[in-house]
Chains A and B, each alone.
Chain A
């Protein structure tokens, strides 16, 4: 199928009324969640996750994806008006966005970041449309050995690049894969790690795990800490939002550069929109003729990161859709939703289910257009949401989490898992163990094991096969380089800290 017919197939799917409706639900929920600090993207996605099983797979995916890129739109609002980033990806936006708001240019900042977000997303979607099919076609040649190596690379990169302790990140990936082993061994039929509990035969519940380590632990950490804030409604009037010609002129190049930077970092495992936004900001600052303006309300300083994070949101779908290898916990959750519907992600997905892949991709256009419309006139409304105190919010969030986990299989045991895993999630927060690598490992683990076993059968149990086959050998070499480089940077950081 050529690109044009795929696009029209995708549009057919994305424009069906039910998909339009759930796309709207996704982006609206995403915007709200992005605006409210203390409820993260992943918590929001896992809350609506069970709802996606009542829907057709493509409809559910469209909704979940909408939440993901919707939060990045909404998150900039709080960065600008309150100096509190709604999501980590919007943190840099606060550097220049908040000063703009204090100078009375908050409305312009909000308007322009929405435009920037749309621009970045458009750029990212175009890349997804162009590159995913080519990469998937190439990956069709891969055997189990190459696949296993690729997954190892993805997991190692995702857990060691993102910052923090490398050993802790890798340990969480490994623990996640082990949690994925719980249940009936698909090849031998023996129960593993079930401790005689028949309920554990089906394995650990993905929804309980995701909600526990992202939702419950987040609530525990945030209770008693955030306070509601007052905002002057004057700054968000529609009239105060129109940018000057100078603002527009200054924004073009930052948007273009932000899109490229964001698209690049979006595709890499472990980097994602937060790092993309940070790098885009740093580049603008270095290129600026008057770098002193930065940090003091420079419009370039909000345009570049806001384009970059939205471009990264979209290009993160390239490895996820083309290879079935998620680069972040959010993408892992999306693939998890697919797998629960019995759809195996991987390079064949684009051939076997073009309506699903292209329907999802085309829904990005729809969703981003909706966000553009949602954001500009309704900014005042979103801002009012900020005045809802957290003490009213979190019990309701917990209720949604509980009902979500329970409703998936009508199983009280899954809710008990939520209690145990929630305690674990809280302990992970306290001891600074990252949660995202764990979810990645959990989702990829069973697929990895499958590929590992097949590779072992093909090579008659010779582990050297991973190094000897050229493609997989190269991938393993790259993995080792990443490991050594990140290990080295940790050592260097420590030595510098000791010297200081």
Chain B
């Protein structure tokens, strides 16, 4: 019953947003292509890697990939930051907090 009520309210509100908008001139949409793609790809890579390979490779995946969202990509600087982030993750979550998760793993 509760979700049905919510759904009904949402339909009404959706119409309240959509109908007036159809009679109004809108500005151009500020949709970005590469920033969301690389940021989300980085997170997805973390999700894929973290179980089989451990935290450090997953960190490298997310930090490495998400840097491609920046306008200019300089490989040297990228490697440096990725390495630093991996060390930071290991230091904080492995050494200092001692989270119960694998840091490095080779599943094969």
Contacts and interface: CB of A to CB of B under 8 A. Distances in A.
Does chain A bind chain B?
Answer: yes
A162 interface: no
A469 interface: no
Interface string B29-71: 1111001100110111011101100010011001100110111
B35 A165 contact: no
A492 interface: no
A449 B2 contact: yes
B39 A177 contact: no
B39 A54 contact: no
B81 interface: yes
B104 interface: no
Interface of A: 51, 54, 165, 167-168, 170-171, 174-175, 177-178, 181, 192-193, 216, 219-221, 223-224, 391-392, 394-396, 398-399, 401-403, 406-407, 410, 412, 415-416, 418-419, 422-423, 426, 430, 449, 452-453
B95 interface: no
Given A167-B17, A192-B3, A403-B89, A430 B101 contact: no
Interface of B: 2-3, 6-7, 9-10, 13-14, 16-17, 29-32, 35-36, 39-40, 42-44, 46-48, 50-51, 55, 58-59, 62-63, 66-67, 69-71, 81-82, 85, 88-89, 93, 97, 99-101
A220 B10 contact: no
**What is the interface of chain A mostly: helix, strand, loop, or mixed?**
helix
Nearest to A397: B66
Contacts of B31: 430
Contacts of B29: 430
A461 to B, nearest CB: 10
A399 B6 contact: no
Contacts of B14: 171
Given A174-B13, A410-B100, A423 B36 contact: yes
Given A174-B9, A395-B81, A419-B44, A223 B17 contact: no
B39 A223 contact: yes
14 contacts: A167-B16, A220-B69, A223-B39, A395-B82, A395-B85, A396-B85, A399-B59, A399-B63, A402-B46, A406-B46, A406-B101, A407-B101, A430-B31, A453-B2
